[in-house]
Amino acid sequence: MTGEENRSLKVTALLVEDLAALLSKSGAHVTAEMLRRDIDEGAPVNADGTVNLVHYAAWLVRQATGDRLQTTGEGRT
């Protein structure tokens, strides 16, 4: 991760490089370049250019399901 290794991370405002490192540590091979491509394709970012992990994960699900869950109402409570 960038900067100090022991600093705390805020999952609602991660630098692209930190998000890539976090996801890679979880077992996925993710690079900052891959995340930037997702952002170019419409992945949500905060006004300051950081990424909210929860919003990004939701965007990935919508991409993977082709928006099926949203248009069919599945998964709603």
Q: pLDDT at position 5, please?
A: 62
Q: What burial class does residue 50 get, using C-beta atoms within 10 Å of its C-beta: 0-12 exposed, 13-18 middle, 19+ buried?
A: middle
77 has pLDDT over 60: no
73 pLDDT tier (thresholds 50, 70, 90) = low
pTM score of the predicted model = 0.77
Name every residue whose Cβ is closer than 8 Å to that of residue 9 and which is 6 or more positions away in sequence. 1, 18, 22
* Radius of gyration over every alpha carbon of the chain, rounded to an integer in angstroms: 14
Instruction: Sketch the domain layout of the chain as residue ranges.
Output: 16-72
| pLDDT tens-place string over residues 20-72 | 999 999 999 999 999 999 999 999 999 999 999 999 999 999 999 986 655 55
